[in-house]
Amino acid sequence: MSFFKKLTQRLKPRSDKQIYSEGLDRKTNKFVNKLLLLFEEESEIDESWIERMMVVLIEADVSVATARKLMKSFQKLLDENEITEKLYAKDVFKQVLNEFYGQEAPQLKIADNRPTVILVVGVNGSGKTTSCSKLAYMYQEQGYKVGLVAADTFRAAATQQLELWAQKLEVPIFKGKLHADPSSVIVDGLKGAIDQQLDIVICDTAGRLQTKTNLMTELTKMKRVMAKFIPEAPDATYLVLDATLGQNSLIQAKEFEKATALDGIVLTKMDGSAKGGIIFSIIDEMNLKVNFIGLGEQMDDLRPFSRELFFDSLLDGNSDNA
């Protein structure tokens, strides 16, 4: 048995609730702490409190327009229900957030008789490679046969990084030579996945700036070659966004969306991000939903996004209660 398998077996499995509340622990998350401090003030709710709450949201990189919308709905519900006590206001705010988020993203359907292909894209350092590995781990835990494709041929270290994860997880990896055409690696990966009858194949790609046309064209090519082998591929293209970049992430997301079809967002590094409020602007300003959320550096810290767990943990903020 591999070292990694032994290690994960020794770790007590954590519930999603526990992972969410540990990732959004007020002790390490300034945004959560500031939000909670507001609700803990003893005075009644008044205009100045509402204004201060708006400032907390904006400081966490919620855009002004989104913060206004949220506070307007919050104020309306508070007034309608004649609530002035903070204790009850917290539940009202949770309701506002849940309604604001709306429907959750549908889960990716895993095909029965061919590999389901996931393409992971994003700017440098957003967390693509670790997210690919964590997704592989998650699907493996669900009983699927998973493979990884190292289509980041840009840096030698990139393939090595994914290879290390593949070894730990004991999953096949398909890779190419340094500076090889990423599309050729994808072709090898898809052929291999079909041969080995894998259920899911996850393709890691090089970090690319949304403004670099050639790199965006390369993405289009990757998608085109995939479809030659598996017409439905990619089944999902996920954009990885780093929550610590705040509004910059939103700008990236908008540009990526213009350049290539996306199916959803993997929002990483929500643990400890003082700019975690960006999630509200993403919800408000994009047509995309958050499919997965990164709540830490452990293997099981990437979870399917659950609005209820997220907003509950955000406004409870204490892992000690989990």
Catalog residues that contact Mg ion under the rule CB under 5 A. Answer: 128-129, 158
Q: Is 276 in the site for ligand GTP (CB under 6 A)?
A: no
By beta-carbon proximity to ligand GTP, the closer residue of 172 and 207 is 207
Which range of residues in 80-88, 191-199, 252-260, 289-297 is near ligand GTP by CB under 6 A? 289-297
Q: Which does 2 bind (CB under 5 to 8 A by kind): ligand GTP, Mg ion, none?
A: none
User: Who's near 60: CB < 8 A, 6+ residues apart?
Assistant: 31, 34, 246, 274, 275, 276, 277, 278
Nearest CA to 294 out of 273, 268, 275, 265 is that of 268
Q: Is 130 in the site for ligand GTP (CB under 6 A)?
A: yes
Q: Which does 268 bind (CB under 5 to 8 A by kind): Mg ion, ligand GTP, none?
A: ligand GTP
Which range of residues in 104-112, 138-146, 194-202, 266-274 is near ligand GTP by CB under 6 A? 266-274
Q: Is 268 in the site for ligand GTP (CB under 6 A)?
A: yes
Burial class (CB in 10 A: 0-12, 13-18, 19+), 4: middle
Nearest CA to 309 out of 134, 97, 136, 140 is that of 97
Task: Using CB positions, name the residue nearest to ligand GTP.
Answer: 294
- Name all contacts of 175-178 with Cβ < 8 Å and 24+ positions apart: 175/149, 175/150, 176/150, 176/151, 177/153, 178/153
Q: Are 100 and 284 in contact (CB under 8 A)?
A: yes
Q: Is 269 in the site for ligand GTP (CB under 6 A)?
A: yes
By beta-carbon proximity to ligand GTP, the closer residue of 126 and 260 is 126
Which range of residues in 66-74, 91-99, 190-198, 264-272 is near ligand GTP by CB under 6 A? 264-272
Q: Are strands 200-205 and 173-175 parallel, antiparallel or unpaired?
A: unpaired
Helix residue ranges per DSSP H, the chain: 3-10, 16-23, 30-40, 47-59, 64-80, 86-101, 128-141, 156-169, 182-195, 213-229, 247-259, 278-285, 307-316
The tokens for 35 are: 């939000």
Nearest CA to 248 out of 266, 269, 275, 268 is that of 275
Apex 134 CA angle, 209 and 140, nearest 5: 135
Place of tokens 């409020």: 277
Q: Which does 271 bind (CB under 5 to 8 A by kind): Mg ion, ligand GTP, none?
A: ligand GTP
Q: Is 127 in the site for ligand GTP (CB under 6 A)?
A: yes
Which range of residues in 39-47, 48-56, 245-253, 291-299 is near ligand GTP by CB under 6 A? 291-299
What string marks each residue from 203 to 222 as x (binds ligand GTP by CB under 6 A) or -?
A: ----x---------------
Q: At its nearest, how many Å lie between ligand GTP and the CB of residue 96?
A: 26
The tokens for 309 are: 């767990």
By beta-carbon proximity to ligand GTP, the closer residue of 28 and 84 is 28
By beta-carbon proximity to ligand GTP, the closer residue of 67 and 201 is 201
Applying CB under 6 A, the site for ligand GTP has a residue count of 18
Q: At its nearest, how many Å lie between Mg ion and the CB of residue 111?
A: 26
